[in-house]
């Protein structure tokens, strides 16, 4: 297969944990040809969605600090629909440039490109707001631009989490308690004086046992989750915020949540998603560039990258229904 990755610069990858790197490694084993471009290299020329594309050979990193794990060839300009699959793996934040990229990917799809996840899905499935489609699985939640409403929510629950709608890796997430003297300044900063919409959720003390990342690939639930456990007094379990990742088998509740949501994700054109579950509750649905492939595989022996590659083949051949 001929694969195009839309991703951040490859020399910036942390190869020991990067999921896109793990995907590329598996595809190399299968003798697929790999190509790379960035979201800012997408273009429309004569009505066709194209990009500045760099073919490359996956060599593999010899240690965690090796940034020369690939060998590039001459950059070309090509239509996205000339590839068997286009895999969008650019990291958030989901800003206007990201939004524009999703529109170009939707146009490319209309021109025959196989794009995963689809531009429409990434555009309409906000990673924070999408949980509101599944209220039966979510904790008490409010979304508002008014700090007064967030304060009222805090007075009702005494202990809450507040977060922006466009962040990643735990950025901008705060835990607020009713007697916290910094509530006002935190809300002013986070909400930009009532000009920015945020989400607040009841604090779930089960986070001390891990913020679980559950992967859904091709409509199938991966049987292991990565519990990202907060360290050193942190509220956030995100690996980017210093959380410790421990692979665990799914609980009955985890599986019930994931199996209910999985077919709905496929209907939305989402090949890969990462659910975030704390205790018994769904807190986020990640669709832009879900991670944790390597950690789960290394700790359990379950080959997540192989599962993804198999699902990609089925999706390209039309054997997965969207």
Q: Which residues are catalytic?
A: 128, 163, 213, 228, 236, 276, 284, 286
- SS3 of residue 36 by DSSP: strand
Write out the E strands in the chain. 2-6, 33-37, 42-45, 48-58, 70-72, 76-79, 85-88, 115-116, 141-144, 159-164, 174-177, 198-202, 211-217, 220-229, 244-249, 272-278, 281-286
Give whole-number Cα distances, 52 to 81, 83, 112, 149, 231, in Å: 14, 13, 18, 47, 42
Tokens 């060599």 found at: 59
DSSP H helical ranges for the chain: 19-29, 96-110, 119-124, 147-157, 183-191, 252-267, 293-300, 304-316
C-alpha closest to that of 193 among 150, 155, 158: 150
Q: What is the C-alpha to C-alpha distance for residues 108 and 21, in angstroms, rounded to an integer?
A: 24
Task: Report residue 32: phi and psi, to 5°.
Answer: -80, 150
Q: What is the dihedral of CA 91, 94, 95, 98, to 10 degrees?
A: 60
Burial class (CB in 10 A: 0-12, 13-18, 19+), 138: middle
């Amino acid at each position: 297969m001929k694969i195009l990755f839309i991703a951040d610069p490859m020399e910036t990858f942390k190869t020991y944990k990067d999921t896109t790197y793990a995907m590329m490694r598996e595809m190399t084993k299968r003798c697929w040809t790999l190509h790379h471009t960035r979201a800012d290299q997408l273009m429309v020329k004569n009505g066709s969605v194209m990009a500045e594309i760099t073919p490359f050979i996956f060599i593999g990193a010899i240690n965690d600090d090796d940034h020369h794990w690939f060998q590039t060839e001459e950059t070309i300009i090509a239509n996205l629909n000339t590839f068997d699959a286009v895999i969008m793996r650019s990291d958030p934040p989901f800003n206007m440039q990201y939004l524009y990229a999703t529109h170009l990917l939707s146009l490319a799809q209309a021109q025959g490109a196989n794009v995963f996840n689809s531009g429409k899905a990434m555009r309409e499935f906000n990673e924070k707001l999408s949980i509101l489609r599944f209220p039966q699985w979510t904790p008490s939640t409010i979304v508002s631009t008014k700090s007064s409403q967030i304060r009222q929510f805090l007075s009702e629950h005494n202990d809450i989490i507040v977060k922006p709608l466009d962040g990643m890796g735990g950025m901008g997430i705060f835990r607020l308690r009713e007697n916290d003297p910094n509530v006002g300044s935190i809300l002013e900063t986070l909400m930009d004086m009532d000009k920015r919409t945020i989400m607040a959720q009841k604090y779930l003390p089960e986070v001390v046992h891990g913020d679980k990342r559950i992967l859904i690939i091709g409509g199938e639930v991966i049987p292991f989750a990565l519990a990202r456990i907060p360290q050193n007094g942190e509220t956030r379990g995100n690996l980017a915020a210093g959380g410790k990742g421990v692979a665990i088998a799914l609980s009955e509740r985890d599986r019930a949540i994931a199996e209910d949501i999985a077919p709905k994700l496929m209907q939305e054109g989402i090949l890969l998603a990462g659910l975030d579950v704390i205790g018994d509750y769904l807190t986020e649905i990640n669709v832009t560039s879900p991670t944790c492939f390597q950690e789960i595989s290394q700790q359990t022996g379950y080959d997540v990258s192989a599962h993804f590659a198999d699902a990609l083949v089925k999706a390209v051949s039309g054997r997965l229904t969207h």
